Structure 1
Amino acid sequence: MTVPTTTELTTAPEQHAPSTETMATAARAPKGPSGPSALARIGSSFAMFRNRKSLTGLVILGVFILVAIFADVIAPYGPLDKDYTALKQPPSWQHLFGTSHMGEDIFSQIVYGTRGVLIVGFLSAILATVIAVAVGVTAGIVTGWKSEALSALTNVFLVLPGLPLMIIIATQFDNPSLLLIAAVLALTGWAWGARVLRAQTMSLRNRDFVQAARANGEPLGRIITVEMLPNLMAIIASSFVGTVTAAILGLTTLAFIGVIPITNLNWGTILFWAQQNGAFPDYWWWYVPAGLCIALLGMSLSLINFGIDEYVNPRLRSAGERARAMRKKGIKVSSAVTAVRPVTAAKKPAGAKDA
């Protein structure tokens, strides 16, 4: 057996220790494939839209958006063009959805009315989401009387009756614009999202990464924008989609009861004129298409919201992944799968006799 000398024991570690230049080069080297790439981060941001429900909802919503953009090309007539030779006519090749009591083409009114519905819905949701994020996140991150004051403000708007408040505000103007209508709907629809964001922010402010950022002396603005908001994006997206749905229903309700002037053409205005001129129930083509459009758009937003909920909730996400894996194997998700084992006779001890 060879015993190493004192010189060998002293120089051996020096042969394997990295030099200062080597360590500096390794520090400057780019990260390997283990770090997430930009495409991977972008793909993970849209992971909530990978299931069939979300994709179906996005497709339906995309169709409505295309109809709103290309309304001038799709609509065969102007929304207020009148044909006095065809009054209250049923659907035909000349008028796909029939005509109104003034000979107006219902299909053209549906197409042009899509613009007003989507503009008010998305604009109102953007305004309401901005208010909800500002109030909810601030109320969750601060403490003391500031948090309690913002929480009390949220509770006040949460219990206010939305529809009467919208009617009172909208009737103060002779010809309210779409921006004003969206602002009114946003004013009555931000409180629920702010309440949820406040609760989630209060949960996040005690996490280790937030406490570490505070210990490092990070400013409050950076903690909110860099540390907290990325973890709240799924909830903000869900709140945004829900606010769009509520704003569309609020717009059509205000138009149906006659609060919004007839110059603001939308699906609710069509239902208003149908109700005013006795279209129910005989002239079904006057009110059924508008009602179906409201239902389809609401269904698409609900499907998108289901996908976001599945992405946020770990239990729903694991259940969805398990269901998709079962479909790939050809197993019905609704079928009960039970493992059946063959029954074998129990071995008798040696020397035992039958009874």
Structure 2
Amino acid sequence: MTNLTPANLEIEPDATETILTRQSKGRPGRRSRSALRQMLPTMTPWLALGIVLIGGIALFGLIGPLLVGDPAAIRNIGLTGPSAEFPLGTTQTGQDVLAQLAYATRGSLQIGLIVGVLATVFSAFFGILGAYIGGFADEAFSLISNVFLVIPGLPLVIVISGFVPAEARGLWTIAVVLAITSWAGSARVLRAQTLSIRSRDYVAASRVAGERAWRVIVVEILPNLLPVLASQFVFAVIAAILGEAGLSFLGLGASNSSTLGTMLFYAQNGFALSLGAWWWFVPPGLLIALFGMGLSLVNFSIDEIINPKLKTVRTHARRERRAKREARKKERQR
């Protein structure tokens, strides 16, 4: 997955050009359809696989808790393998692993969604607003972003989580901590993109016409940054789920909530690996890996909107493969 940082992001003038400006010629109906197509990634097998993985896991997290029993119910059948009654076996205290997995998936999705939204809002505020206003505001926002950018993320998260009392470490607390430590890099990217768009003719025309600053940002600048914001949102969700799993594995996660990380934490404390109880720790780890892979595949497709050269390379490669197949077919016919 492409990490959008100022060092490896190539700003394409054509990519940041407003879609409505590019489509100013032609009929209105065709223009709106073409603009919509350019705002959406091209459907590929990898994108379809990513959507299926994300949709399946999200559906399991939403509907699963309604179909399973109580995940905290204790039974006299500790550490039993998968069976007809318990498809994913039980824990040391006889708790249903499938029920725990359903509730834990919902908790991890909630944290990922909250962190994704908060980190995107923070990065948009400090990146877009500061770059558009310029002057002292831009310098102050850049200073704040640089301070958070140079601070090591994981140690800061561990320190903050360590100072929060265990009884107060809920989903929102962990989500806010992860969001605070993950927005700075995205803000730098948005600042660079906004500085490029701010100097364009249609933005200057709106400012000369007396449009208010908020309307220029929302109508003229923000639509061109939607692919970048979408990619940063996806990356923030992945980082949040992995970060929460790491914190929970260290015992600093959401103590009063169930997540995939807390499942791994209790599996480690219950010596699941040494006891060979693979059904206790493999399912949550596999769900984290599959969900991250699905989001990464979607992010690869969003990258084609940010950098149109990627789509051009893939189109040329597809044409070359098609030409080679046709050439081989002609040779066989001879």
| One-letter identity of the residue aligned with 1:184 | V
Question: How far off its partner does 1:139 sit?
Answer: 2.3
- Pick aligned residue for 1:82 from 74, 79, 94: 74
Give the TM-score of the pair, scaled to structure 1. Answer: 0.79
Q: Residues 1-355 of structure 1 correspond to what in structure 2 (within 5 A)? A: 34-36=27-29, 40=33, 43-44=36-37, 47-48=40-41, 50-75=43-68, 77-84=69-76, 86-171=77-162, 172-173=164-165, 174-281=167-274, 282-325=276-319, 331=325
Contact 2:171 2:254 in 1 (8 A): no
Q: Closer, same or farther in 2 for the Cα pair 1:46/1:82, shift >3 Å?
A: farther
Aligned with 2:41: secondary structure? helix
Contact 1:91 1:97 in 2 (8 A): yes
**Residues in 1 aligned to 2:25 and 2:277: alpha-carbon distance in whole angstroms:** 67
Give the TM-score of the pair, scaled to structure 2. Answer: 0.83
**Residues in 2 aligned to 1:151 and 1:256: alpha-carbon distance in whole angstroms:** 34
**Residues in 2 aligned to 1:327 and 1:264: alpha-carbon distance in whole angstroms:** 51
Contact 2:131 2:138 in 1 (8 A): yes
Question: How far off its partner does 1:142 sit?
Answer: 2.5
**Residues in 1 aligned to 2:263 and 2:286: alpha-carbon distance in whole angstroms:** 12
**Residues in 1 aligned to 2:263 and 2:133: alpha-carbon distance in whole angstroms:** 47
Bigger radius of gyration, 1 or 2? 1
Percent identical residues: 40
**1:88-117 deviations in Å (ceiling 9; x for gaps):** 112222221221111111111111111100
| One-letter identity of the residue aligned with 2:208 | A
Question: How far off its partner does 1:263 sit?
Answer: 2.9
Q: Closer, same or farther in 2 for the Cα pair 1:245/1:88, shift >3 Å?
A: same
| One-letter identity of the residue aligned with 1:206 | S
**Residues in 2 aligned to 1:180 and 1:113: alpha-carbon distance in whole angstroms:** 17
**1:2-51 deviations in Å (ceiling 9; x for gaps):** xxxxxxxxxxxxxxxxxxxxxxxxxxxxx997123587167426521522
Query: Aligned pairs, how many?
Result: 304
**Residues in 2 aligned to 1:202 and 1:329: alpha-carbon distance in whole angstroms:** 42
Contact 1:210 1:227 in 2 (8 A): yes
Aligned with 2:85: secondary structure? coil
Q: Which has the higher contact order (CA 8 A, sep 6+)?
A: 2
Q: Closer, same or farther in 2 for the Cα pair 1:201/1:320, shift >3 Å?
A: same
Q: What runs of 5+ residues in structure 1 fail to find an aligned partner?
A: 1-30, 341-355
**Residues in 1 aligned to 2:155 and 2:50: alpha-carbon distance in whole angstroms:** 31
